[in-house]
Amino acid sequence: MKNVTFRQLRVFTEVARHLSFARAAEALHLTPPAVTMQVKELESQVGMALFERSGRGVSLSTAGEYYLVYAKRLLATLKDADDAMARFQRLETGLLTIGMVSTAKYFVPRLLARFREEHPGVDVRLQVSQNREQLLELLHANECDLAVMGRPPKELATRAEPFAAHPLVFVAPPGHPLLRVGHPPLEALAPYQFIVREPGSGTRNAMEWFFHEQRFEPRISMEMSSNETIKQAVMAGMGLSFLSLHTIGLEVKTGLLHLIDVEGTPVMRSWNVVHLLSKLLSPSAEAFRYFILEEGEAHLVAHDTPLLSTNAA
């Protein structure tokens, strides 16, 4: 395999990520035939099929699953080398990969847009994970430079820096009886069904901690892995929920959802920017880390204050 190129490895890992030649081509700004050719050349070098093809479907072969581990290691090492050289040159250019839990996707893109105005030479890739566990896998595999998440991971050796408060609140559809109660105790929610995030998510963990502290047993009717689906279910009158304030700004402003001013809420957590201690950050990653530490809190306070003030009124 002496003649394997890093270009072939990049194409291979992108096809493995999407399990689609067409979507990999779109992500790499190549044509599908060019992606197919690169994969065939790599398979010729390896001497085995790395993908199993069935009609339009694509899946990794057993050999491909093993090879993917080493391909990712090689690409991560090459990026670390590029980052190290960039640090010598102090260049704020190149690719910056930001991983985040799904709840953070409601505000991180806006911060990145402002960051790009100040650092136009940086190309940004967002990796949105459905929950905390998936994001930890990205960090562990060195597939993102920085991660935006709630609870700092204890499972990995990381540097976690809080940059903003993260309020979590109870929500109800318009006209719900609890909205007529000015400041209900948590026990007032007992008769109603709850639609909640899946186990392992940061939102679910915060909810369970709050319920445990208050010795409250909710009536959970549904578990969902999508904030958007939960919001739609609450708006349809299927139950109450406990969500990040940062996911419901538009719905609250338009009256599609209402905050329930439950005693002891909002439940406050923190947003953190995280990276592996072993990772040498590139100048672009250092620049974004500094930017979010400096600008993140003011951005989120500007979002949160009107929502919480309206609810209090």
Place of tokens 């939102």: 203
| Helices within 238-282 (DSSP H only) | 249-253
Q: φ and ψ at 22, to 5 degrees? A: -65, -45
Ordered per-residue pLDDT tens for the chain, 313 residues? 667 888 888 899 999 988 888 888 888 888 888 888 988 888 888 888 989 887 777 899 988 898 998 888 888 888 777 776 766 555 566 788 999 998 999 999 999 999 989 888 888 889 888 778 888 888 888 889 999 998 888 888 899 999 999 999 999 999 999 999 888 999 999 999 999 999 888 899 999 999 999 999 999 999 998 999 999 999 999 999 999 999 999 999 999 999 999 999 999 999 999 999 888 888 888 889 999 999 999 999 999 999 888 655 4
Is residue 188 within 8 A of residue 181, CB to CB? The reply is yes
Find, among 74, 11, 72, the residue nearest to 40 by Cα: 11
Tell me if the pTM is above 0.75: no
DSSP string, 177-229: GGGGSSS--GGGGTTSEEEEEPTTSHHHHHHHHHHHHHT---EEEEEES-HHH
